[in-house]
Structure 1
Amino acid sequence: MDRLFLRVYLHIFAGVLIAGLAARAFVIPRINAQLARNLEVSLAVPVGLMAELFEARYREHGDFGGPAEEASKRFGVPVALIPQARTPLDAEGAERLARGQVIREGPVFASMLYARIEGTSHVLQVGPLPLMFPLGGARGGALLLLFVGGLSLGIFALLRPVRRQLLDLRRTAEALGRGELGARAQVGSRDVIGALSAAVNHMGAELQRSITLRDELLHNTSHELRAPSQRLHFSLALAREASEPDAREHAFDRVERSLSELDALIDELLTYARLKAHGAHKETRVDVRPVLAALCETLTLLPHKAVLAAPGPDEEPLVVRVEARLIERATSNLILNALRHANSRVQVSLSREGRVIHIHVDDDGPGIPLAERERIFEPFHRLDDERHGFGLGLAIVHRIAEVHGGSVRALGSALGGARFTLSFPA
């Protein structure tokens, strides 16, 4: 018997004991009073008839003779004739007795019945009645033992599967704490413990996924940092060995480009890490139409092989609750990604669908294979071997949409290339 069983058993037994004491104090007295009334009503007729027999005897012979002793022997109940002054009745009982009623007196299971004998100063006394308490003696003790045994077995049968599930949960939690991320608990029922097991399994799966993503992110980050770092060391070595000023200046130019690439990569990593850790903090009401128009106007000034078409003017404001800086970053990443892959045209448009506002960025480039449309938003994931950025731009877009309660999807475009749809609640 472990502590869980003992605690539950003691709590239930204490509750039953308190209920029994309360019943003894408030319920049993009412039951006894009703039993007393039932006894008085049930035995009023035979006791009244017995009193009439004694009355007839007295009228005929002038004495009571020996019928009282004979009745006691025949029925096994004490029968006596006593003076009315010796009855232990109160004023109300004496008054009822004078009216010819049969009166019960004393404890329920030792009741005394009194009936007046008309024409005499005596009262018929019957009792105490040989009534037995149903739970008295060994019977009550046996019933108590049966109750305690049945309660113990019931609680043990109830807690045994609960204990087994809790032990399984404990083993699973300890295994997860040791780093065994594949450990899972058995979901054996649909009660609260089954729901807890499912929650622990979900936590383990998310923990395993997060650590896997973290390890992958660390691996990819170290790989991405290694390339500009190696170029930086190589360029510094060239600068040290260069004897001509032009060669030395060219080597220093390569050092500056490598440092700029490192700065850009570190900035992307910090942005992604901040979004993963803290989300958005300065959400305001932003009309996305003028934000996109200004952004497209700025990006059009940059040299690109593709033509950027901004969304047309419209009377209807499209307001979302976001952090303005982050929505500019997300849409800028999508547009720059489209300009990088487009053949000749990139189109930005807006639409509203119920309580959701969509920002669409279409291009006429090679598009995205169907199998890659989910993985494209993972950190450092690229579709080809060519280096276009660090593979963090779309991951940042996905995280910005996520922290604002929105979403981003990669689809096929009517222009023939890819369509990225960034959605936010209106």
Structure 2
Amino acid sequence: MRSVKTERRSSTLMGRVARVAALAALGGGFFAALAALILAEIKVEHAEDRRLTEEASEIVFEVSRLSDAELLEHVEKETEELERVNLRFAVHRGEVFFGGDANLPRLEYGCVTNDVRLCVVKDGPWSCVVAADDAPTLGLAFMVTILGGAAIIAALLGALTSRRLARWAIEPLVRLGERLGDAPMDQATDLGADDGVIEIDTLRKTLRDLLDRRADALRSARLFAAGAAHELRTPLTTLSGELQLLGEESHAPSIQDRIAALQSSTAHIVELVERLLVFARVGAAEAAEAMRHDAVELGDVLEQVCRRASRNVMGRLTYEPRAMPVVRGDESLLSVLFDNAVNNAILHASPADVRVVLDEQDGDVFVDVIDEGPGIDPRERVRLFEPFQRGTATRPGAGLGLALVGQIARAHGGEAVFVDAAGGGAHLRVRLPPWAPRPAKA
């Protein structure tokens, strides 16, 4: 049975905060409008009760001071007057109905709604109930209209302001991310002062501790690598020389093959030692800013690099200089950078072709090393620039080549990154600033 792999859609934190803010504005606007309508309805009802109570009080006051004959005449007159304003009333003396609308129920006190709004006022034995046939109310249609309008307005306001509010809310996190992105691998990192946001300040402290531990670990690894390389350099040089002399003597074919294999292994170890020494040197140069800053013809450097690399690749490597820029830096380190970049592409793209393109755009110098091999998983692109990280376990190497590429590029004020290749394969782009005279020290 085929398994269907579903990918979760990604979204930005600012987008999520903005959506939450918009929904909160929509809900807040709706419930605020609902609360306002309920309060308005209560206000209207209280005003109507006050009107009915005043009418009932006036009638009770008048009838309690009239004779029976005058009372009947007065009730008829009041009935005509109140009908003109859509009001009805009923007068009782004790338990006896005395006049008005006999269909109105008797009330003990207060105001109630019973098909119509009723209010009663009592004065001694007399009581008067006044009813409004068309009591004022906001009405269902009006309330629905107001609620809908409020929801629409709240949604519009939320849409207009939520992005700005979300940007303001996550601004400390964005600043922290920018500082973190510029953090060097093996130096103390300034993540800025606390923002006063507890969660972000806690995250900053955790990241600062993590970066400090990483820097300490890399410095320790660099010191160990440098020490081990220095200790191994002399005996390896001696061993390599002895094997070369031994290989010049006459031996049986099987012995000669073993000597050749030993020479190859020794050469590989010597190369690893040299890389470890360069790795330690680059780190020290970055930390002390003691690296040379000469004007270097980068085209000449790349031409020599490609000439050395093309000896064993039988036409698979092409060099395309589209400009001949001059950069500022250490020529020997730049040679190491591009030796590693080109040889890494040749090794991992085999048997596919490799192109090296030199160009200058928008004030920066770019060297693109493009191969037609299997490519690199996008999730691995950043990790491969870390020391002792390898992409494919079946390929030889110690995981220092791309680490040197990245460190030397950064030491020159540039960067090395993998970008999407147009036709598949891997595309390493190295950016370097052009040469400019260093400002004189005051």
TM-score > 0.5, shorter chain as reference: no
Larger Rg: 1
TM bin (shorter chain): 0.3 to 0.5
TM-score (norm: length of structure 2): 0.43
